[in-house]
Amino acid sequence: MAVPPSPDAFFLYGSSPSLGTRTILSFEDGCNMNGSKRSFFGMLGTDEIVNEDLEDYFHQPEKKRRLTTDQVRSLERSFEEENKLEPERKVQLAKDLGLQPRQVAIWFQNRRARCKTKLLEKDFEALQSSYNSLTAQHEALLKETDELKAEVISLKEKLEMKERVVESSDLSTRFSQESASEDEVLEVPKSTSKQEDACSSRGDVFIPGSPPYTNGSQSPLLDPCDSSYIFEPDQSDLSQEEEEDDELSKNCLVTASVSPKQEGSNQCIYEFSGLDQAFWPWS
DNA sequence: TTGTGTTTTATTGCCTCC
DNA sequence: GGAGGCAATAAAACACAA
């Protein structure tokens, strides 16, 4: 897009067709000897240009000239006030700084582009730091999840072990009860304190959400009509199991307490506290 | 001094608005 | 249709290490 010479420009335009594009020289730039030492225009004053061999001059390639620090400072100040440039302000700035209005417009345009790039970089950094933070949080949560899963598995194993211990204990209790009943029939009645003691110390396990097995008939293993479960309990094994049971209770994170839920009944219930209902895999 | 990367100035082409 | 903005790009100016 060829930019036509602006009527309000204070510049010299190359008239030679061989130039291809116009050559712009502001008064200030042309007179400014403090410009870049490599600048073609910085080495020539306006009068010099006029008086030099025009043919040679117009055959010089067009050179860009950087704005002076004062010009840039003024433009920056103006940009801070308002990053858009109204025509009046553009002309005024151009006059004040000795620049072509189009140069001012281009400077603002490029300045807006730089501003946008900086803003994008800032946004990118903010997003990146946010992403890093979220990634760290995610990793921490994954780790925590793994730890909790491992804990669940460990607790399940302990619980299963405890259930086995309680069931075998329950069976032995029932077996002794039945033996006692037979004794009552055949001999002089005896106290049942033994059974009560056994029950009070080793009741059924009550787990929220799980089917409660009491030493009644709820457990299929304890169905009085089913004689297949009957076996001879080994008392030495029982005492050993009791010890193991105590050990488990100590190590278990879940606090298991024996609490008689029904006063006077021989039903004893283990309550597990400290874990949410939702924690239990069967709930 | 020179090669190379970065910054700045300027151009081009396209788009939107009036 | 012209003015002005923007993105992409060219190219000069500049900085700096080797």
A42 DSSP assignment: G
Q: What are the structure tokens assigned to A66, written together?
A: 């950087």
Q: A267 vs A195, A209, A214, CA distance in Å?
A: 11, 18, 6
Helices (H) and strands (E) in chain A, counts: 8, 3
pTM for the model: 0.49
Distance A133 CA to B7 C1' (A): 34
Quick count: other Cβ atoms within 10 Å of Cβ A258?
Answer: 13
Strand B: which nucleotides have any atom within 7 A of a protein Cβ?
8-14
The residues of A between 172 and 231 with beta carbon within 7 Å of nucleic strand C are: none
Confidence (pLDDT) at A64: 77
Confidence (pLDDT) at A67: 94
DSSP string, A66-104: PPPHHHHHHHHHHHHH-SS--HHHHHHHHHHHT--HHHH
User: ∠ CA(A99), CA(A101), CA(A102), 5° rounding?
Assistant: 105
Nucleotide with the nearest C1' to A64 CA: C12
Confidence (pLDDT) at A16: 30
Residues of chain A with pLDDT under 50: 1-61, 188-283
User: Which protein residue has its CA closest to C1' of B9?
Assistant: A64
Distance A66 CA to B16 C1' (A): 31
What is the helix (H) or strand (E) element at residue A272, kind and residue range?
Answer: strand A269-273
Distance A41 CA to B6 C1' (A): 23
Contact flag, residue A30 CB and nucleic strand B, below 7 A: no
Nucleotide with the nearest C1' to A84 CA: C5
What are the pLDDT digits (tens) for A128-164? 999 999 999 999 999 999 999 999 999 999 999 999 9
Contact flag, residue A103 CB and nucleic strand B, below 7 A: yes
Confidence (pLDDT) at A62: 56
